[in-house]
Structure formats: C-alpha cells, structure tokens
C-alpha cells in the first residue's frame, strides 16, 4: 500500500483496508481484543481506540508508512507532530532522563492521567516530532489504552480521531462512523467521560499549550 508527501501532508492510500473489529462487549473477550489490536499495530496497521476523553487513532511511531497513512486519514500536516503514549513512565525513560530531577518527578506524579508533556526528543523519528527537537509523551489515564501499549510492546502514536480542524470523536459510534472503513482494527471500548483531549504542557518552560 503506497503513500507519499503532498504539500506537507501525507497522501492517502488508494484502497481502504480490511477492518477487523476487536469487540470487547464480553469481559472474557477483552484481553483477546487487545491482543488482536496489538498484533494489528505490529503488522503496520492503524487501530481506532478509546482514550481518556476522546477516541484516538494509534499506530507504530517507528513505522513511517503507518504514520503516513494515519496523517492522511486526518488530513494533518506532518509538521504539527503527534502525541506518543506508553504503558508506564519507564517507556519514556530515555526522554525523562534528560530532564531535571524535580521536573521528572512532577511528570511521573501526573501519570497515569490525561497529561501530555513536551520533552526533549531522544529517539523518535521526524515524522512523529514534526522535525522538532521535542516530542509529546503521555501515560494515559485509560486502562485499555495502557494495555494496548503494553501488549504492543512499546510506545504508540495516539492522536485524536478526527479530520484536522474538526472536533474529535467522543463516542464509539461517532468514531466508527468517521473511521471504521478506513482503519485496520476497531478496539471496542469507551472513554472515561468528560469529552476533553489531554492537557499539554512544556516540561522545561511550564507553558500550557492546551488546557
């Protein structure tokens, strides 16, 4: 499946993928559903999933083709960068090690939670950072999102499920209507309520970029 740059925005693939619905309606199926979604991510796919306040689109941050597809789905310029989530603070040990001790402690105390921090980038590629020297990271306050990152085995791009400039999907129904036929897997679930995306702060300056 090919994709490419178009005026700073990744071009969409020609054909829609076959979608696997990882339904979690039954408790005994929840673990299997997360495994299916994680396997989809490892195969280079895109997963539609719930986060704290809104629904998100996830992919492997080190897979350039997967990120290209995700950006194309959103109509989002690569220069804007993307948020990366992890199962625990240790996922971001390389980035946190570059911070003052007090700053690191404050970040770790805010997780798990809907708190995204802009930190110096150590290892994430330019298609994730928007070619900046920083990266946005979070350990989400959403158990299923953390489990997805855990089963995947590393950090994940997780960005709101919406076209750029439009409101994010706050319910599974809206998320499915917008993206079900355009992603590789839908991980059934629910947000924690509130309908708000995560708070974003610069770890070094304390500046709030999104309340």
pLDDT digits (tens, 9 = 90+) for 150-162: 999 999 999 999 9
pLDDT band at 106 (very low <50, low <70, confident <90, very high): very high
Q: Which helix (H) or strand (E) holds 134?
A: strand 134-138
Report yes or no: 42 and 58 within 8 Å, Cβ to Cβ: no
pLDDT of res. 196: 82
The domain over range 16-210 is classified in CATH as 3.30.70.1450: no
So where are the chain's domains? Answer: 16-210
| CA distance linking residue 135 with residue 160, whole number of Å | 16
pLDDT band at 20 (very low <50, low <70, confident <90, very high): low
pLDDT digits (tens, 9 = 90+) for 65-93: 999 999 999 999 999 999 999 999 999 99
pLDDT of res. 11: 38
pLDDT of res. 25: 55
What residue spans of 61-202 are helical by DSSP H? 64-74, 93-96, 101-109, 126-129, 143-152, 172-179
Report yes or no: 162 and 168 within 8 Å, Cβ to Cβ: yes
| CA distance linking residue 103 with residue 153, whole number of Å | 26
Both tokens of 148, joined, read 């997805």
Both tokens of 56, joined, read 């998100």
pLDDT of res. 26: 58
Question: Could you give phi then psi for residue 80, rounded to 5 degrees?
Answer: -80, -15
Q: For the residues 177-198, what does the mean pLDDT come to?
A: 92
């Amino acid at each position: 499946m090919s994709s490419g740059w178009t005026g700073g925005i990744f071009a969409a693939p020609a054909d829609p993928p076959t979608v696997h619905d990882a339904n979690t309606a039954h408790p005994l199926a929840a673990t299997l559903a997360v495994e299916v979604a994680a396997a989809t991510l490892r195969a280079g796919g895109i997963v539609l999933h719930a986060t704290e306040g809104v629904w998100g689109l996830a992919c492997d941050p080190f897979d350039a083709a997967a990120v290209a597809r995700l950006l194309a789905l959103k109509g989002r310029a690569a220069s804007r960068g993307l948020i990366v989530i992890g199962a625990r603070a240790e996922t971001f040990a390389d980035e946190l090690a570059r911070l003052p001790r007090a700053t690191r402690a404050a970040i770790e105390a805010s997780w798990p939670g809907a708190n995204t921090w802009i930190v110096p980038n150590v290892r994430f590629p330019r298609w994730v950072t928007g070619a900046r020297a920083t990266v946005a990271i979070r350990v989400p306050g959403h158990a299923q999102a953390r489990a997805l990152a855990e089963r995947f085995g590393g950090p994940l791009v997780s960005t709101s499920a919406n076209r750029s400039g439009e409101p994010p999907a706050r319910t599974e129904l809206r998320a499915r209507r917008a993206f079900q036929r355009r992603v590789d897997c839908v991980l059934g679930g629910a947000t924690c309520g509130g309908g708000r995306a995560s708070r974003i702060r610069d770890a070094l300056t304390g500046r709030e970029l999104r309340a």
